[in-house]
Structures are given as C-alpha cells and as structure tokens.
C-alpha cells in the first residue's frame, strides 16, 4: 500500500512513514517538507547543516569527512557522552532531485545499504521525500529497524523542519 494514497491534495505527510517491504530487504520512508527540493538537497549535502539536524536529539554529530558530489564520500560520528557511533559511505549520484549513496555503520562493516532519496515537488513550496534503503539481507534490515532508527528519523526530520523554519535561507536556494 502507498502510505500517501489516502491524503487529500491539500494534506501533507508531516510525520514520516517507515515501512519494511515484505518481499525484499528494503525500508521505505516518506515525508513531506515545507521546502523546495533545492533546499532539501542542500540540507542533505552541506556538512554544517546536516550535522545540525541528523539523528536523535540525544546525539550530537561530528562530520569526519564530507565530499558531497557524485563520486564523493562521507563519514560522520554520533556522540552521546563517552559513546561513539561512526558511519561512512559513498555518494554515487547527487542531482537536483535525487541522492544515491551507500551507508555503513562502522560497528557492523559487512552491513552496507544502498540508499536512494528522491524528491517530488508538491507545489506551494512543499516537497515529498521518498527514501529507500536496500540491505543485503533481511537480518541486516531487521538490525536497522531494531536499532531505534525510527527515533532518529522522526527527531531528525523535526529538527530539519525547525532549521528550515528558523532561517528561511537555511538549506540554500529556493
């Protein structure tokens, strides 16, 4: 079932839907933002902006390396007190409406996922984000779902909303 098919044209999905595909080890996330695709791409590719909103509120983010371009790579560390959680990946494609990248938790380096974020213009300054994460196994997908990723998704996107609302220029060009 499409998580947005019940919405009326004037309604927006301001809480992310997170779905596990029953047939392939895939997670789908859908959410609407009161911003243009350009602002959302910028918020996902500018390391200073990304570190301000990504993940759960209980963690801070340190960017270790960031080369946001097609063929580039990235690494960041989430920090909570003495705890450290590091991640890395490669940007396979960055366009005005799409980002394709890999994602690896350094604590489980054999669990690489392929992530695709596609942006859909809804008009009136709203954009729908469609994200998929494809894992190499149902076990890997299950570990991601059981990790508390939903908290990071919901709290991170709420922080992104706040960032975009606080500074109408945050996230770059309109």
Tens-digit pLDDT string for the chain (174 aa):
455 555 555 689 899 999 999 999 999 999 999 999 999 999 999 999 999 999 999 999 999 999 999 999 999 999 999 999 999 999 999 999 999 999 999 998 888 999 999 999 999 999 999 999 999 999 999 999 998 899 999 999 999 999 988 865 444 433
Collapsing DSSP to helix, strand or coil, 101 comes out as strand
Q: Return the pLDDT at 148.
A: 86
Q: Return the pLDDT at 38.
A: 95
DSSP element (H, E) containing 90: strand 83-94
Alpha carbon distances (Å) from 141 to 8, 25, 111: 31, 6, 9
Q: What interhelical angle do 37-45 and 149-166 show, nearest 10?
A: 120
Q: Return the pLDDT at 2.
A: 54
Q: Return the pLDDT at 166.
A: 81
Of residues 114, 104, 101, 126, the one with CA closest to residue 40: 126
Q: Return the pLDDT at 110.
A: 86
Alpha carbon distances (Å) from 11 to 34, 49, 83, 155: 12, 27, 40, 21
The predicted model scores a pTM of 0.88
Domains of the chain: 17-166 (3.30.530.20)
Contact present, 153 and 141 (Cβ < 8 Å): no
């Amino acid at each position: 079932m499409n998580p947005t098919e019940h919405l009326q044209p004037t309604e927006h999905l301001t809480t992310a839907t997170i779905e596990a595909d029953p047939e392939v080890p895939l997670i789908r996330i859908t959410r609407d933002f009161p911003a243009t695709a350009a602002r959302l791409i910028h918020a996902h590719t500018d390391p200073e902006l990304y570190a301000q909103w990504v993940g759960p509120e209980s963690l801070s983010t340190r960017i270790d390396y960031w080369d946001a371009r097609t063929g580039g790579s990235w690494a960041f560390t989430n920090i909570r007190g003495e705890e450290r959680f590091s991640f890395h990946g490669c940007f396979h494609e960055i366009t005005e409406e799409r980002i394709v990248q890999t994602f690896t938790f350094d604590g489980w380096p054999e669990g690489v996922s392929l992530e695709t974020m596609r942006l859909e213009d809804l008009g009136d300054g709203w954009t729908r984000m469609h994200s998929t994460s494809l894992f190499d196994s149902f076990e890997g997908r299950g570990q991601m779902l059981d990790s508390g990723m939903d908290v990071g998704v919901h709290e991170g996107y709420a922080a992104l909303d706040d960032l975009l609302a606080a500074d109408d220029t945050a996230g770059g060009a309109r």
